[in-house]
Chain A
Amino acid sequence: MTQPVSPPRDDTPKLSPQAEPGSWRTVAARADVRTLSLLGVLAALILIGGITKPEEFLDTRNLQLVLTQASVIGVVTVGMTFVITSGGIDLSVGAIVALASVWATTVATQEYGFAGVLFTAVLVGVGCGLVNGMLIAYGAMVPFIATLAMLASARGLALQITDGKTQIVSIEGILELGERDSYVLGVPPLVMVFAVVTIIGWLVLNRTTFGRRTVAVGGNAEAARLAGIDVRRQRLYLYLLSGLCCGIAAFLLIVLSGSGQNTNGNLYELDAIAAAIIGGTLLSGGRGTITGSVLGVLIFTTITNIFALNNLQSDVQQIAKGAIIVAAVLVQRRTASTT
């Protein structure tokens, strides 16, 4: 015997409660809130620095120093932001910076002058990125493992090249770039490179098909594949891009330190990941913000500077960094859950 238990329903189509027009505005506003809150943190830090060490902190030279220090890790973070947005991770950035910086400063390379050093640094970075990308995209390796392997090998190779010695750079043109005489309107050339990389990175992520595909692959790789996107090729390009950024950062580091060392770029991977995450890039992929990443880098560099000026040891710095990462992620989760 059949007993129909549910009465037929009225056939009015139901709309989900959030589907009112205009709700996208709150999303846009929330993105702005995130950027604003990062700017707020940065402003608060500047205030703290200005109050605790008014003369030293607000000195032009100190601000130039902070920005210069932010440049190296900042360039790495731009590349990292792309990789994380695509749902990947690159643990090898610090090791690639080290390898590129020592390979580009060997006696043999230095014979080729400025261009030789720059070219080698970039080429080594891209080469490592190519290996990462091939392993991940076509070798179906998990990014964590592939780049962990690269981390170990590149560090080892860097040590082998230098034998643990610091390789002094003797090329005038490179050393001059780090000197005050080459500042343009008070802006160090390194900072200009950082600014250019940031602007290009922002444009590529937000205004090009490459950026769109990156977000799509990170948001839903299966959907991207079924929509006709070549997911593997995109992944290859992303690790190439990260390697390229590492090569550029290695060159900046060579200019900054006037040398190449196998210990360069130590723990850059953690700094870059942390900066991207507190900036608002989703570790699970599908959403990335270059603006946020750069603000994250500036926040971390400013903290380091303030602590150094106040003669606080690096252990305290590390603890503060950890606390900031936790706080930032908790705040983000709260904003996300109110969606």
Chain B
Amino acid sequence: MSDHTHDISKHRKTYIMVGAILLVGTLLTFALDHFESIDLKKRAGMLVATIAALSIATIKGGFVAGVFMHLNDEKKWIYWVMGFTALFAIGMLGLTIWSMKDIPGQGNQFDRTTGLPIVEKVSGK
């Protein structure tokens, strides 16, 4: 974090501006769901609504982390710590998503002796 006290008043304005951006982002997320004229879930489908809502959340999160938590101007130790954390967190999410294929009835299961898919056998279809 910058320790220059003469920058503080400038920082204050930035904090208020970012706060306003975050509020607008929240309103936009609310509007995605609340107004029928915008309702993305109905108009464009769940996937588009999910991408839109999570994109807004990511932008908002970026502002909080970058400006409020001062990650846009930090020491390299913190970048290393959080870089590794992000790597492991993404890895954990990836492993979870990857493991979804191992759910019985969802495919990717094979008989040990024949090597044939056992989807039908597991799901009972």
A, B in one complex = no
Instruction: Tell me the A residues contacting B by CB distance below 8 Å.
Output: none
Instruction: Tell me the B residues contacting A by CB distance below 8 Å.
Output: none
